[in-house]
Structure 1
């Protein structure tokens, strides 16, 4: 993709954070700015794609229920799609929709040749199997990368759809020019949608189809004893945490100069009684030690949406290629 080097307007809060970090030696990884650059690149690619006579890529989201967070996430995805020239639509289903009804809707979209990408916003209601729903999506239209075929291809380093958050984390590392070859990486969290695919990407072998990042990766999780977690993180050149545990990563657990990618999203109340979103990292303390660090919000979150758009364009190109 084309790399844009235009100066972007940085929100005042992030600007002040960058000034503060520069005096401490840490470099803030501005996910919002990088995601905007990526979306501009994709917009250029879509224009070029259409100039060759192809139709606009099409993304369909299925939203089941009235979860406010899910509604907001889908809204952000659809807005991004519109902004970069992807046709999009949200199919809203009531919370009482059965699993078989959801799967029937997915099958209809699978067979629709005008649809390139399909995503089912998670979580789904408790009476619905997340795994069954994700596996119902045609792997060629699975822009979330959650189908077992795409997860399996990722596990053996074959070209596939990679879950957007994992892809976004890798892109942040790459565009921040943080080396991975032979480096020690600790991934905190083993979820099949985030932690595991991040680990698979980082230890990928350059001799295969996936871009090889060639790192030595340790995966830690809820049953890793705290003292063991600290032993692992102190040796890590890169720490990626996606656990939902406030202040899991503290300054004394971080190797000086390490890169810290915080995927955690936690809602807390401040001493003044106001809601605040924070990550898994004790940001103020860790930025005194780290070489690179992502903020929360404004770090990984915007990248997830940008990489979903990347996957949608990829799906459109693949579907045309497969029809030739």
Structure 2
């Protein structure tokens, strides 16, 4: 079987080009402030990468290092600073529920990552706007949004169907149920009509479009489905296990599967191209492009400058 490998750089190219045009036309360039309050080398590298990509498109970027004990106060200051248009935090900081608390400190007006409670609640309930007039769109988490854009790029979404139902008939397995990527992604794909198996170390949940009063948003179900069963049924398999030792067995996958990896580790075995029709080994550059798109949207809402 012939497998097509899709580069994240190629997917991001059109978004980056559009960003450059939009930013060039702005008199005031939006400012993204990122807070680094941990000693994680990966976070520091991501900060360097963010600075570089923002410079390439013309955005202003500041990485502000601080002790984690000061992070809450620094976030509040940035919320109140009119010169700051977007805020992000490199996690983990404390870990667990305390990081969830930190996510909710960031103002929805400046939350480029879409991780505060308001945005997450609306996403899970398939509420796409903040206002009744449907003029202010909600911010979506960057990596889940990037994965949606990648699936659109490779044609997994059926454009003949109505918007919001373009994954109808697709079965998808996501091996990651984190609150930052896996669970939001499962909700987004289920809200677009897919049947989704959401997998983590504690088991498997099933998500798909509801019925009756729940027709417009997904529902979550307990399932007895095993991982091998889910994989054998799945048209698309998306992995995000942050461990170099985790490898998904190629033999368990459906012939012609679309295989997407968003972990920094390679979760698929080396022979994946013999089974998959499309393979996406990484998504990072698309994630950064979505971060910048989110920033421009927030800048537009704050300043009333039409972009």
Mark the runs of 5 or more structure 1 residues left unpaired by the alignment: 1-23, 205-212, 267-278
In structure 2, how many angstroms separate the alpha carbons of the residues matched to 1:166 and 1:200?
A: 10
| Alignment partner, residue 113 of structure 1 | 82
State the 1:151 CA deviation: 0.5
State the 1:306 CA deviation: 1.5
Mark the runs of 5 or more structure 2 residues left unpaired by the alignment: 129-137, 158-166, 205-223
| Alignment partner, residue 166 of structure 1 | 144
In structure 2, how many angstroms separate the alpha carbons of the residues matched to 1:239 and 1:172?
A: 13
Deviations 1:146-194 (Å, cap 9, x if unpaired)? 1111111111112321111111111111111123332111111110000
Superposition pairs of residues 193-204 of structure 1, within 5 angstroms: 193-204=180-191
TM-score by length of 1: 0.77
SS of the residue corresponding to residue 56 of structure 1 reads: coil
Distance 1:194 1:110, change over 3 A: same
| Alignment partner, residue 232 of structure 2 | 234
Q: Do structure 1's residue 82 and structure 2's residue 61 form an aligned pair? A: no
Contact 1:187 1:199 in 2 (8 A): yes
State the 1:219 CA deviation: 0.9
In structure 1, how many angstroms separate the alpha carbons of the residues matched to 2:156 and 2:77?
A: 43
State the 1:247 CA deviation: 4.5
Distance 1:115 1:189, change over 3 A: same
| Alignment partner, residue 115 of structure 2 | 146
Distance 1:67 1:128, change over 3 A: farther
Deviations 1:269-304 (Å, cap 9, x if unpaired)? xxxxxxxxxx1111x222111111112xxx212222
User: What is the root-mean-square deviation of aligned Cα atoms in Å?
Assistant: 2.2
| Alignment partner, residue 281 of structure 1 | 268
Q: Do structure 1's residue 41 and structure 2's residue 27 form an aligned pair? A: no
In structure 2, how many angstroms separate the alpha carbons of the residues matched to 1:116 and 1:62?
A: 14
Contact 1:254 1:286 in 2 (8 A): no
Aligned residues: 268
TM-score by length of 2: 0.81
| Alignment partner, residue 258 of structure 2 | 259
Q: Do structure 1's residue 221 and structure 2's residue 200 form an aligned pair? A: yes
SS of the residue corresponding to residue 203 of structure 1 reads: helix
